[in-house]
Amino acid sequence: MAPTVPDTVEDVQKGLADNEYLADEGLATSIFLALRLQRPLLLEGEAGVGKTEVAKVLSRWTLASPSFLSFSRWWERVDAGMPSSD
């Protein structure tokens, strides 16, 4: 089965909501553009704001394989002045 690609920003909001994630218009627009343009999406934010949950829901909703999603804590290590190995 091919991954789901939404037709509108509202489709993104509905798809995420159907998978128990409520996204505001800004996040839904970013996700919509990333999916339609087949480009990566970098989510930044403090711990606990929902970055990983967005990735999990996107994977479930779009039927993307786990390898489609990439997590990196590299920026945190750079900000802390620590070497990165991931």
| pLDDT score at 60 | 87
Q: CA-based angle 83:34:81, to the nearest 5?
A: 15
Contact 60, 19 (CB under 8 A): yes
Per-residue pLDDT tens digits for 18-73? 999 999 999 999 999 998 998 888 888 888 888 889 988 988 888 765 555 555 55
Helix, strand, coil in percent for the chain, rounding step 5: 50, 0, 50
How many CB atoms lie under 10 A from the CB of residue 59? Answer: 17
| pLDDT score at 5 | 82
| pLDDT score at 1 | 55
Structure tokens at 85: 């190995």
The domain locations on the chain are: 9-79
Residue 4 predicted with pLDDT over 90 = no
SS3 63: coil
Residue 86 predicted with pLDDT over 60 = no
